[in-house]
Amino acid sequence: MRRTSPRSAGSESPRDGPPNGRGDGLRLVLIGAGWITQYHLAALDRLGRTRLVGVASGRLESAKATAEPRGAAAYSYDDIDRMLDEQRPDIAYVCVPPSAAIAVLERLVERGIPFVTEKPLAAIDADGPARIAAGVAERGVIAAVGYRLRGLDAIVEVRERLAGNPAHLITARWLCDTPGPAWWRREELGGGQVVEQATHFYDLARLLVGEATVIGAASTRQEPFVPAGVDVVDATAAILRFETGAVGSFANTRRLASAVIEVELACADLLITIRKTGAVQTSWEVVFDDGQSVRKIPPGRDPYEVQAAAILDAVDSGDPTRVLSTYADALKTDRLTRAVVAATGRAG
């Protein structure tokens, strides 16, 4: 049975059905129409449980390009409130630059609309995510954050193996070139590489090993910045101590022509590696090496689809714990990455 949104309780406009009377899936809106939304839409299409009714973007042309082929309405960012009021969505996907996320989520929380938001939770606004988390808890909003690597098929086995053979060392490397989006290249808009990109590995470390504290961190940058117009540091390295006693080293750079993106967990006589193997966002594998044999497990089901199914199940059941990553849990990852940046003594 579909959950009644908190915003419907005692309201004169309950979500008893869509305005046009159709009941073919949860009413979905997208806020943001960049490249990442195509992964989300493809996963949602395969599930067949939603119907896109509205798209908002900073460029109306982009919103129309995504909305019109699907019979949805297009809006600019200035009309997000109007879109929410007119379309009465059952769920929203938020894929905006990190600096814009808090303002969008405040609107959704106020209306009690379930949502998935991309990571990170914010750019340089360290207090905004805590306000959103408090609102989500107070209003009982179903809220998920896009830590999709939690949805890799082999993560279940990884957790089972670690339960009996805990990791004593975690090493993570996110080494790549500088991403193209203009917002990514400005720390005030994207948060920097630790907060925006390497956050996936800090989140996996928390999920698989436990909470951690930052022992120390350092970063480096070339001035003038390369390429021109970028103000994100070139590289960051951090040492963490986990509550289990394990230690971790995390390194990232945006200055490579190729890419090495992997996290390794060293246990007694077992090395577990989670690595990106290709250019597309779903190209991941998990490798188990016990010294006797090496077993590689492909990503299996698209983690975007696993993430989507989880949030839709949560909305249908009214159970916010069914998502891959709750907003409250993602806030802990957000704070950890910001602690790393703070330990470097400079911006991210």
The total of structural domains in the chain comes to: 2
Same domain? For 128 and 255 the reply is no
The distance of Cα 120 from the centroid of its chain, to the nearest Å, equals 6
Instruction: Evaluate whether residue 226 is within a structural domain.
Output: yes
Residue 18's pLDDT is: 37
Instruction: Evaluate whether residue 136 is within a structural domain.
Output: yes
Same domain? For 33 and 127 the reply is yes
Residue 279's pLDDT is: 84
Same domain? For 184 and 268 the reply is yes
Alpha-carbon span 277 to 104, nearest angstrom: 33
Instruction: Evaluate whether residue 180 is within a structural domain.
Output: yes
Instruction: Evaluate whether residue 1 is within a structural domain.
Output: no
Residue 280's pLDDT is: 84
Same domain? For 162 and 295 the reply is yes
Same domain? For 32 and 122 the reply is yes
Burial of residue 214 (number of CB atoms within 10 Å: 0-12, 13-18, 19+): buried
Residue 63's pLDDT is: 97
Query: What is the residue range of 175's domain?
Result: 152-299+335-344
Same domain? For 106 and 176 the reply is no
Instruction: Evaluate whether residue 39 is within a structural domain.
Output: yes
Residue 229's pLDDT is: 87
Same domain? For 185 and 59 the reply is no
Instruction: Evaluate whether residue 228 is within a structural domain.
Output: yes
Instruction: Evaluate whether residue 95 is within a structural domain.
Output: yes
Residue 23's pLDDT is: 52
Same domain? For 105 and 208 the reply is no
Amino acid making up residue 252: N
Instruction: Evaluate whether residue 202 is within a structural domain.
Output: yes
Same domain? For 136 and 71 the reply is yes
Same domain? For 252 and 283 the reply is yes
**CA distances for 42 relative to 165, 200, 234, 311, angstroms:** 37, 21, 33, 15
Alpha-carbon span 231 to 343, nearest angstrom: 18
Domain containing residue 294: CATH number: 3.30.360.10
Which two three-digit tokens encode residue 168? Answer: 């004593």
Averages of pLDDT over each 10 residues, the chain, 348 residues: 36 34 79 95 97 97 97 97 98 98 98 98 97 98 98 97 98 97 96 98 98 98 88 97 98 96 98 94 94 95 96 97 98 98 83
Cβ–Cβ under 8 Å, residues 149 and 155: yes
Same domain? For 49 and 195 the reply is no
Alpha-carbon span 157 to 31, nearest angstrom: 34
Who's near 38: CB < 8 A, 6+ residues apart?
none
Same domain? For 284 and 209 the reply is yes
